[in-house]
Every structure is written in structure tokens, then in C-alpha cells.
């Protein structure tokens, strides 16, 4: 049992960490905030806001992965909430069905803890047999315990054009909800292309996980939003197998995978009261955000409605150049 002394020492270490983090961050290159209250800071070639960088570094020091953990990794706006809901519903399917699942009253980001901000509370979920932990950390930033424990990692990525459009929209919606001046599309586009975006450069984020997945295929599942969208049943079955809880023949005959997919569909989740009117991280300052802002269209190829042909070509060229000789394609 934790003694008063242990928690005192822990607090002391945490205070020391906060102090040195504040000193360190003041020395980092500062990037545009995309119209949001927090600036981006560049640390070891990636861009983060202060609370997320602090969270990643703290997790590196404190998080102790177990071999049975399953890490859901992604760059922002690539399908994280969808992946969380599908994996959560699959892993908990013997405890809940589509009329009792916590997804009915908690948004996907609230059912799977986020390593950067919630890793200290993750053990409670582990004990309940829900070993899912999400992160946006680039591969090179993962705590060494994740790599050393050999736990499984599921990564999802998306066409950079749709990722950018989705990121631009969440920023403008959030800025409007905070009564701050939203960023213009052209400016956001230039920043994204330069790599100055949350956990960006986006391409480097994807490549880090792609290369690791080639080196350790047994420990990695590498997904694309577009492929998941094209054949969700196939990918959900693969996910279940990878997580060690494949659908039985009887479950497949009863249409359990299809029910999970329907439950986790954009149409269903975005119309639930919790996702229309709830608040994520309520009372946590700049981290507080309306749940509905996370749900926009959930479509493949919506970039066509926002990017000029010239912008699309520019992004495609960057993608081609960055991914050349990697064996990966993103559009
Ligand atoms: P759009 O902005 O293109 O609609 P993330 O969860 O990583 O932030 O990704 C957000 C993107 O996933 C948004 O894309 C969002 O609308 C979409 N999304 C959210 N829930 C989804 C679901 N259940 N199915 C498919 N897409 C979903």
C-alpha cells in the first residue's frame, strides 16, 4: 500500500519535473498556434503543445507497460475515436451489448484513456480486462517499457489531405467555441505542409510507425482509415484476431461484428446525446472541448470540397517525396 512518505516523494518528483519542464520548454522553437490558445513547440523534430509534450515526457519516465497492454497510436484526426470505439466494443463484447455498452453514454475518448494525460489512471481499466491505452506520441517518443514489454501496437493513419482538412476544421470550430480568431485555410495549409501541426510533421509520424511495423510485424497492426471504411467487417475481424479475442463462428453467424460496426458508425455515435451535448475534459482549462467538435463528417475524400487542385497536388507531391522508397502509400 502506498505510504504517506511515498506519495510525498512522488509529489516532490512531480514538482521537480514540472520545474525542469518549464525551463526546458522556454528554450524550444515556438510555432504558430493555428488560432488556438496554446502554441506549438518543436522538440526532437516534432511539434507539440505544452500539456501534450509534458504528458509524453512524463509517460516516458513513469509508464510501465505490461505485455498484455494494447496501445492505440495515431496522429490527430486520422480516425482515433473510431478505432477506440471499435476496439473497446470488441474487447468488452462479453460484458456489454449494443444496448448496454458505455459507448452509449461516454464518448470514445472517455472510454479509452490517453497516455499523455491519463496513464496514471490506466491500471483500473487493466484490472477490468480492458488493456487499451491510446496515444498520439510519435514512435520514437514511446516509453521504452512499451517497446521492451513487446505489447501490441495498433496504428491508424489517413490520407494527408483528409487529415489536414479535418485538423483545420477542429481548430476553427474550437476557436469559434472559445471566441478566438480562427486560422485561415491557406495559412493552416502552409503550416501543415511545413510540418508545423499537432504531433507533426504528419508524414514523419506515419513513417516512424510504418518502419517499426515492418521490423516487428507480429507486434503491429497498421491500418488506414480509407481501407477500414471500405471493408469494415474484414478489418474488425482482423483487429479482433490481433487483439487475441477473435469472433467465434457462432458470433459471426449471429452478426456480432456487424452489430459492433453499426454501434461504432459515425452516424450512430455522432447522433448520441453524449456526443451532441457532452464536454470532454470538463474543467481542465484549454483541454476542455465540446464532444460534438470531434465528430464532423467521417467521410473519405472530403478534401475535394476544401482544397484547390493546386493544393491537392502540392500535398500529394510532399507525400510522394516523403514516402518514396518506404513501400507505403497514403492516397
Ligand atoms: P472528419 O473531420 O473528416 O469528419 P480523430 O478521432 O483521430 O480525431 O479523427 C477524427 C476524424 O474521424 C474526423 O474526420 C471525424 O469526423 C471522424 N470520425 C469520428 N468518429 C468516427 C466514426 N465513428 N467513424 C468514422 N469516422 C469517424
Q: Which of 87, 295, 305 to mutate to test the pocket of ligand 1 (most atoms within 8 A of CB)?
A: 295
CA angle 239/315/326 to nearest 5° reads 55
Rg (CA), the chain: 20
pLDDT at 4 over 70: no
**CATH code for the domain in which residue 47 is found:** 3.40.50.300
Phi and psi at residue 166, in whole multiples of 5°?
-65, -40
**Interval 267-295 mean pLDDT:** 94
pLDDT tens for residues 149-171? 999 999 999 999 999 999 999 99
At residue 2, the pLDDT reads 43
14 pLDDT band (50/70/90 cuts)?
confident
At residue 3, the pLDDT reads 45
Confidence (pTM): 0.95
293 Cβ inside 6 Å of ligand 1: no
Q: Distance between CA 241 and CA 185 in Å, rounded? A: 41
Q: Please state the domain count of the chain.
A: 1
pLDDT at 77 over 70: yes
Between 153 and 3, residue with greater pLDDT:
153
Residues 6 or more apart from 136 whose CB is under 8 A from it? 52, 73, 74, 75, 76, 80, 116, 198, 199
Sign of CA dihedral 136, 281, 20, 37: positive
Between 178 and 290, residue with greater pLDDT:
290
pLDDT tens for residues 211-244? 999 999 999 999 999 999 999 999 999 999 999 9
9 pLDDT band (50/70/90 cuts)?
low
286 pLDDT band (50/70/90 cuts)?
confident
% the chain with pLDDT above 70: 97
Query: Does residue 14 fall inside a structural domain?
Result: no
Structural domain boundaries, residue 126: 30-323
Query: Does residue 21 fall inside a structural domain?
Result: no
Query: Does residue 171 fall inside a structural domain?
Result: yes
Q: Whose CA is nearest to atom 10 of ligand 1?
A: 77
At residue 6, the pLDDT reads 54
Q: Distance between CA 126 and CA 63 in Å, rounded? A: 13
Q: Where are the alpha helices (DSSP H) in 100-201?
A: 108-111, 115-118, 122-127, 144-149, 160-177, 185-194
| Cβ–Cβ < 8 Å for 239, 156 | no
Query: Does residue 168 fall inside a structural domain?
Result: yes
pLDDT tens for residues 34-67? 999 899 999 999 999 999 999 999 999 999 999 9
108 Cβ inside 6 Å of ligand 1: no
Q: Distance between CA 38 and CA 266 in Å, rounded? A: 29
Task: Give the H/E segment covering residue 62.
Answer: helix 50-62
135 Cβ inside 6 Å of ligand 1: no
269 Cβ inside 6 Å of ligand 1: yes
Q: Whose CA is nearest to atom 5 of ligand 1?
A: 77
Q: Which atom of ligand 1 is nearest to the CA of 156?
A: 7
Query: Does residue 314 fall inside a structural domain?
Result: yes
Query: Does residue 178 fall inside a structural domain?
Result: yes
Pairing outcome for strands 70-74 and 46-49: unpaired
pLDDT at 107 over 80: yes
Residues 6 or more apart from 295 whose CB is under 8 A from it? 81, 266, 269, 270, 275
Amino acid at each position: 500500500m502506498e505510504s504517506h512518505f511515498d506519495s510525498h516523494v512522488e509529489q516532490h518528483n512531480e514538482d521537480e519535473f514540472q520545474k525542469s519542464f518549464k525551463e526546458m520548454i522556454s528554450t524550444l522553437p515556438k510555432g504558430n498556434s493555428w488560432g488556438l490558445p496554446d502554441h506549438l513547440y518543436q522538440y526532437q523534430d516534432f511539434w507539440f503543445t505544452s500539456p501534450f509534450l509534458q504528458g509524453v515526457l512524463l509517460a516516458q519516465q513513469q509508464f510501465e507497460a505490461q505485455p498484455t497492454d494494447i496501445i492505440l497510436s495515431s496522429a490527430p484526426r486520422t480516425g482515433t475515436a473510431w478505432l477506440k470505439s471499435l476496439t473497446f466494443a470488441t474487447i468488452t463484447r462479453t460484458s456489454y451489448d449494443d444496448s448496454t455498452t458505455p459507448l452509449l453514454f461516454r464518448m470514445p475518448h472517455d472510454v479509452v484513456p490517453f497516455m499523455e494525460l491519463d496513464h496514471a489512471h490506466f491500471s483500473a481499466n487493466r484490472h477490468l480486462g480492458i488493456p487499451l491505452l491510446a496515444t498520439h506520441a510519435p514512435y520514437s517518443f514511446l516509453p521504452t517499457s512499451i517497446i521492451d514489454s513487446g505489447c501490441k501496437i495498433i496504428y491508424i493513419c489517413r490520407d494527408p489531405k483528409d487529415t489536414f482538412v479535418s485538423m483545420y476544421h477542429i481548430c476553427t470550430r474550437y476557436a469559434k467555441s472559445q471566441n478566438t480568431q480562427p486560422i485561415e485555410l491557406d495559412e493552416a495549409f502552409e503550416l501543415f505542409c511545413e510540418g508545423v501541426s499537432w504531433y507533426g510533421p504528419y508524414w514523419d509520424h506515419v513513417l516512424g510507425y510504418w518502419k517499426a511495423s515492418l521490423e516487428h510485424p507480429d507486434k503491429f497492426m497498421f491500418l488506414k482509415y480509407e481501407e477500414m471504411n471500405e471493408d469494415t467487417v474484414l478489418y474488425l475481424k482482423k483487429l479482433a484476431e490481433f487483439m487475441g479475442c477473435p469472433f467465434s463462428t457462432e458470433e459471426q453467424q449471429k452478426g456480432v461484428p456487424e452489430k459492433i460496426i453499426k454501434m461504432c458508425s459515425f452516424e450512430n455515435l455522432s447522433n448520441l446525446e453524449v456526443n451532441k451535448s457532452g464536454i470532454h475534459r470538463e474543467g481542465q482549462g484549454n483541454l476542455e472541448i465540446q464532444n460534438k467538435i470531434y465528430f464532423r463528417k467521417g467521410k473519405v475524400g472530403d478534401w475535394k470540397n476544401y482544397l484547390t487542385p493546386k493544393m491537392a497536388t502540392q500535398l500529394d507531391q510532399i507525400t510522394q517525396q516523403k514516402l518514396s522508397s518506404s513501400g507505403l502509400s497514403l492516397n
